[in-house]
Amino acid sequence: AQKVTQAQTEISVVEKEDVTLDCVYETRDTTYYLFWYKQPPSGELVFLIRRNSFDEQNEISGRYSWNFQKSTSSFNFTITASQVVDSAVYFCALSPGGSYIPTFGRGTSLIVHP
Amino acid sequence: DVKVTQSSRYLVKRTGEKVFLECVQDMDHENMFWYRQDPGLGLRLIYFSYDVKMKEKGDIPEGYSVSREKKERFSLILESASTNQTSMYLCASSLTSGMQETQYFGPGTRLLVL
C-alpha cells in the first residue's frame, strides 16, 4: 500500500521568509511518480511539479524548489521569499508503478502574513 | 489549456434529497475522478472512471453512485443526501492511464446538507 505523509498541518510565516513543506512517502514500487499541487482559496487544485523515481535531480523554478531524496523517501518543497499569494493548501501525491490513481497527503495549509 | 468545470460552486440540499453533481472536461481525457475534501482528511477518492460507461469504486463509495454516459461528462449522485455528506467535492480528469499523468481539477462544489 502507498502512503503520503505531510506532517505539517499548518504553517504560518511572514512575507519574505523562506518556508519548506515536508512530504514523506511509502511505497514498495521502484517506479513511481511524485507530485505537488497547490490549492488556493478559490478551491481548484493546480499542478506544480512532477518527478519520477529515477530522477533525483533537484528542481528550481523561480522562487520554488523541490528536493527529492530517495534515501529518506522525501520530496520536500521550498518557497523562497514567500509572498501573500503563496497562501494556499499544498498537497503532495504519489502515483505508484502500474497505477494512475494517486495517493494524496492530507495537505499543508500555508499562511503568509504581510 | 485543460478546463474542468463543475455545475455548481455552492449547493444547499435537504436530508433525503437526491443530489446530482456534474463535471465536464474539454480535453478528451480518458479518466475522470470524484473526490471529497474534508478538513484534516485531505482528498479521498469516491469513484473514478477510465472510459465511457466504466466506473470503479474508490476509497469511500458508500452513499454515492456515478454515471459516465459521455466521455467528457462524469456525474456524481447522492441517492439520499445525509448531513455527513456535507463536504467539498472535487472533480478531476487525466489524459491517459499512465502513472505519470497529471490530474486536472475543477473548482469544486461546496455541498451543505441540512
Is the Cβ of B42 closer than 8 Å to some Cβ of chain A? yes
Looking at residue A58, its pLDDT comes to: 83
Of A79-88, B89-98, B105-114, the least confident: B89-98
Whether B95 has a pLDDT exceeding 80, the answer reads: yes
Percentage of chain B lying above the pLDDT 70 cut: 98
Instruction: Summarize the confidence of residues B97-106 as an average pLDDT.
Output: 87
If DSSP codes are grouped into helix, strand and coil, which group holds residue B83? helix
Task: Give the mean pLDDT of A50-62.
Answer: 87
Q: What is the mean pLDDT of residues B6-33?
A: 95
Q: Using DSSP bridges, classify how beta strands A10-14 and A108-113 pair: parallel, antiparallel or unpaired.
A: parallel
Angle at A46 between CA A44 and CA A52, to 5 degrees: 145
Task: Pick the residue of B102, B104, B109, B111 with the most A CBs within 10 A to test the interface with A by mutation.
Answer: B102
- pLDDT for residue B1 is more than 80: no
**pLDDT for res B100:** 82
* Cα–Cα separations (whole angstroms), residue A87 to A14, A79, B93: 11, 11, 25
pLDDT one-digit tens code per residue, B62-73: 999 999 999 999
Q: What is the pLDDT of residue B26?
A: 94
Question: What average pLDDT does the structure give for chain B?
Answer: 94
Nearest chain B residue (CA) to A51:
B100
List the single residue in A with minimal CA-CA distance to B90: A44
Inter-chain CB proximity A45 and B105 less than 8 Å? yes
Calculate mean pLDDT across residues A1-16: 95
pLDDT for residue B2: 67
Q: Which residues in chain B touch residue A34, judged by CB atoms under 8 angstroms apart? A: none
- Is some CB atom of chain B closer than 8 A to the CB atom of A3? no
B37-62 pLDDT, tens digit each: 998 899 999 999 999 999 999 999 99
Mean pLDDT of chain A: 93
Nearest 5 degrees, angle CA A1-CA A94-CA A79? 140
Residue B97 touches partner A, C-beta closer than 8 Å: yes
Q: DSSP strand E in A2-113: where?
A: 3-5, 10-14, 19-21, 24-26, 32-39, 46-52, 59-61, 64-69, 74-79, 88-96, 103-104, 108-113
Q: What cell numbers appear for B6 in the block?
A: 463543475
Contact status of A30 with chain B (Cβ, < 8 Å): no
